[in-house]
Amino acid sequence: MKTNAPDFTASFTVKKSPSEVFRAIMNVRAWWSEEIDGPTDKLNKPFFYHYKDVHLCKLELIEKIPDQKVVYHVLENEFSFTKDKTEWVDTKLIFEISTEAEQTHVQFTHQGLVPEYECYQVCRDGWTNFIQTSLYNLITKGAGQPNPKEGGFNKQLVEKWKLKSN
């Protein structure tokens, strides 16, 4: 979908080093979801995220600049609650790390997630929580609030997608 609407963004600033922030961002299971299968820290290697029977996506890390930037590319996606199940396909999750005075600033952009998407409200609320609460708490308090490991319906889809990908 081509649009002039702004991509979703969320940000925060912490009194931690860029290195600490980078390590936390790379620890996706500690702030986003424990329901991730595959390597989230290896360039160009797919991994799978799923949340119950609501959301399944296949992503890969496409850029990793220590202490500065992390970019994940959404290769495949499926929502159970939208007409267009593939709204996230070919979008990017971008984390930019910068320093401001003696603090570190995190700018998250879901490039391609725009208000015209049917999932926008739900995704905006989810990302706001995962970035500004869970990731922030992982960095500042040592523990995030990721979705817990539950298994279930999408485990079968993950296995099916894995077979299709090989």
* Torsion sign (Cα): 86, 73, 139, 10: negative
Percent of the chain past pLDDT 90, that is, above it, reads: 72
Going by pLDDT thresholds of 50, 70 and 90, the confidence category of residue 163 is: low
What is the predicted pLDDT for the residue at 135?
Answer: 98
Cβ neighbours, 10 Å, residue 117: 22
Mean pLDDT of 6-11: 94
pLDDT in tens, 52-81: 878 889 999 999 999 999 999 999 998 889
What are the DSSP calls for 1-26, one per residue? ----SPPEEEEEEESS-HHHHHHHHH
| DSSP category for residue 146 | P
| DSSP category for residue 33 | B
pLDDT in tens, 84-96: 988 999 999 999 9
Give the angle subtended at the CA of 70 by the CAs of 35 and 92, to the nearest 5°. Answer: 70
